[in-house]
Chains A and B, each alone.
Chain A
Amino acid sequence: MTTSTLRREQPAFVETFQRLRLGPYLFVLGVAIIDFLVIGPAQFVNGLTIGAIYALVAIGYTMVYGIIELINFAHGDVFMVGAFTSMYVLTNVLGQDGPIKDPPVLAAVLFVDFAITMILLGILGTVIERFAYRPLRHAPRLAPLITAIGVSFILQNTIQILFGPSPVNTPQLISPTARVNVFGLDVGVVNIFTIVVSVSLMIALQLFVSRTRIGRAMRSTAMDREAAQLMGVDINRTIAITFFIGSALAGAAGVVQGLYFGNIQFTLGFQAGLKAFTAAVLGGIGNITGAALGGFIIGFVEVTAGAKGVFVWGQAAVFVVLILTLLFRPAGLLGQQIGERA
């Protein structure tokens, strides 16, 4: 039954292989290569782009779940608020309404937009944690889950009241028709930008978590809250920082969403949140790299459905992937085996 007994019976090279834990990565690589061959390079870029956005959102889910074991249902809507914040910053603060040709100006505007949006969203995340989740940290599991659903409604409807129910245009700073030639393939500049930004943020986060003192506090809190507390970790502060980072990344994803699609709506968060959560579960909830990989896989699943003319089933396929994961590998690709009550 337990994995440890099975492991001992296997030959040495398998053991080494398992210790490196390369299996999941190879699996994802395999999926990517097969998918590449099935749908072709142009669709593959579509999948990577949308997958990058899901991955950024998924990281927030996984971090919060890792540290306080809460499915933060409001996270998808935090992402949506990020998209609206970015839209507001670009149009009303920075006065932009379309593509910027001059690279230094473009870089400066993008930097300011990302910085403001991420900081504001980080603050939103910590405020939600402070007032909606912290008081319930010792309550039965159901209570914070229901609160999270409530927060999700509040965010959605507040945005609807502020910006109206219709889809809203947001400036596409990078001309959506600009294309470059990458290895003989015609790729949109904004696609490359989306992928590069997302992957850079993920690498930065990974370094932060593994190299800094706060990152260590986060990891130790996730592992054993009481023990971490005994070792002098300020639990409340650590959890608040986790929410800050997760929500800031969702904010960044919101910025990217706006730049890529040029149009946002208050209902954006629900579907995106669901998919991102699926990505987090698929990758192994609590595991940041896993969430990123899961995001890309979900992107591939969706795009493959579109590429094969069965677009309408793409969404259902995502949930089927979710259910199958939970059935056959509840720990996800990279997650720890979780018992009944981890």
Chain B
Amino acid sequence: MKNAKIGALVAGAVIVLAACSSGGSTAAPTTAASTGTGASAAPAGSTAASKGELKLGVTLPLSGGAAADGQPTLKGAQLAVDQINTAGGIDGYTIKLVPLDHAVNGKYNEQQGAQDMQTFVSDPAVIGVVGPYNSAVAKVQIPISNAAGLLQCSPANTNESLTKPEFGALDYRKTNPTKINYIRVAATDDIQGPAMATYAYNTLGLKNMLVVDDVTTFGKGVADNFQKKFEALGGTVIRVGAGADTTDFNSIITDAKTKNPDGVYYGGVVTSGGGLLLKQLRQQGLTIPFTGPDGIVNGAGDAKGSLIQIAGAQAADNSYGTVAAIGDFPGKADFEKAFADHFASDADFKVAGAYSGPAYACATVILDSLKATLDANPTADQAAIREGVRAYASDPSHTFKTVLGDESFDKNGDTTQPFISFYKVDPTAKGGVGDWVFKEQQNFSANAPAAASPSP
């Protein structure tokens, strides 16, 4: 198939680019590569080398506290676009990356996210959008992108209600319920939570766990799913919520100690207080395993604001986390090197984050679909291109070669290869600052996710 070729091209580009940039030239990001006004692309039809510009939107929270989530993810998509443009664009088009930031006062904001999505859908040159990061933002964006038939690929959304009709997804794609325009490469929380529950119960041998969530869409959702599975397996759970600004977990820990938990699951992200919870657990003398979803697997001990950095490498020992994406993919080392080389001269966020790879994969899916669309119909106008990209990407029969491996999407837009990777903190890694090390991964490509069992 064609996409295999494109995949190879992309993979080749990774290596070429890695080679190029290690030569030392990479300056500022080269998003706006060419052409004039940028208002809209030149009319299609000319078979000349340059047919103008098409845009790839990125919708992420990029400023304030949320920048740590958004920026590395943005750069994943940026890398893909820069590589395509360096390789000469797609069928005569150059691709322009258009990132819009929906953080307000340092936190994701749904209303701003909705406005940004309006911006994308109304610009006919936008052929697809990478993002968002937070499930709550997806909930306001999907109705808009669905009505406009604009493809959205989220690298990080895990809330199951966004795609699965049995969880209420039809509320979000009301205008065109059967035209899938929202796809994602991350496994959903009804897979990620239970995966860790099974791992904790069977592999780690935990039977009575303290489950704390940060009372956000993501944190509560994944913790609920964890609890359901863990209890179904026969474990018991002490459940507590602790809102996103919590600094003092001591009362929760003191209370839990009287109930003798043998492990902790934190449903949430580190910025909500996951690091402080771990730190205070250890200070109160609880050295039991600390587990959590991808929200806690946020970098090594030298990364600002990471779980390991906040808790300290020693305290972070005996911590386990899941990532809702393939953890060990063939091109991983190459990708991380290409990323680091490409953004070496940037002020911050020089190394790939947990969702840089998925964002790169999302961009690949969209750009491959664009390539396929243009190959089939070289004279397509912008509306036809947009619809072509959407239809191609969401077609379950298509498979994409991405940096994460072969990727395709089911009838709801969920990845058919929902991988869950397990990581463990190694406090001695990276010269003693500590880092997450990959343990194993499981593929949950079953149809009934709630009953999904590990099938390595």
Contact = CB atoms under 8 A, between A and B. Distances in A.
Direct touch of chains A and B (CB < 8 A): yes
Interface of A: 42-43, 46-47, 49-50, 160, 164-167, 169, 176-177, 179, 188, 261-263, 265, 267-268, 271, 302-309, 311-312, 315
11 contacts: A165-B67, A165-B106, A166-B65, A169-B310, A169-B312, A261-B276, A263-B276, A265-B247, A302-B251, A312-B215, A312-B241
Given A166-B305, A267-B245, A315-B243, A306 B251 contact: yes
B440 interface: no
A188 B283 contact: yes
B68 interface: yes
Contacts of A263: 247, 275-276, 279, 310
Nearest to A314: B251
Interface string B235-263: 00010111101111111101101000000
B305 A306 contact: no
B283 A303 contact: no
Contacts of B252: 306, 311
B291 interface: no
Contacts of B322: none
A43 B255 contact: yes
B141 interface: no
Contact of B254 (A43, A261, A315): A43
Give the interface size bracket for B toward A. 35 or more
A303 B251 CA distance: 5
Given A167-B310, A263-B275, A160 B106 contact: yes
B285 interface: yes
Contacts of B168: none
Interface in B264-323: 271, 275-276, 279-280, 282-283, 285, 304-305, 309-310, 312
B276 A306 contact: no
B interface, over-half SS:
helix
B248 A312 contact: no
Contacts of B271: 166-167
B29 interface: no
Given A160-B106, A263-B275, A312-B215, A166 B251 contact: no
A309 B211 CA distance: 11
B64 interface: yes
Contacts of A309: 238, 240, 255
B245 A271 contact: yes
Contact of A177 (B250, B283, B305): B283
A258 to B, nearest CB: 11
A267 B241 CA distance: 20
A311 B242 contact: yes
A123 to B, nearest CB: 27
Given A306-B240, A308-B255, 8 more contacts: A50-B250, A166-B65, A177-B283, A263-B279, A263-B310, A306-B249, A306-B252, A309-B255
Nearest to B283: A176
A35 B265 CA distance: 29
Nearest to B273: A167
A163 B141 CA distance: 33
Interface string B41-60: 00000000000000000000
A160 B242 contact: no
B173 to A, nearest CB: 32
Contacts of A302: 248, 251
Contacts of A303: 250-251
A60 to B, nearest CB: 19
A261 B242 contact: no
A268 B240 contact: no
Contact of A43 (B251, B280, B304, B310): B251
B241 A311 contact: yes
B279 A46 contact: no
Q: Which 3 A-B pairs have the closest CB atoms?
A: A306-B251, A166-B305, A165-B65
B247 A261 contact: yes
Given A177-B285, A261-B247, A307 B275 contact: no
Contacts of B245: 267, 271
B244 to A, nearest CB: 10
Interface in B199-226: 215
Contacts of B240: 306, 309, 311
A335 to B, nearest CB: 28
Contacts of B106: 160, 165
Contacts of B310: 167, 169, 263
A262 B311 CA distance: 9
Given A160-B64, A165-B65, A311-B242, A42 B276 contact: no
Contacts of A305: 251
A306 B240 CA distance: 9
Contacts of A261: 247-248, 276, 279-280
Given A167-B305, A312-B241, A50 B248 contact: yes
- A49, A309, A315, most chain B CB atoms within 10 A: A309
Contact of A307 (B254, B276, B279): B254
Contact of B243 (A49, A160, A304, A312): A312
Contacts of A306: 240, 249-252, 254-255
Contacts of B309: 169
Contacts of B215: 312
A311 to B, nearest CB: 5
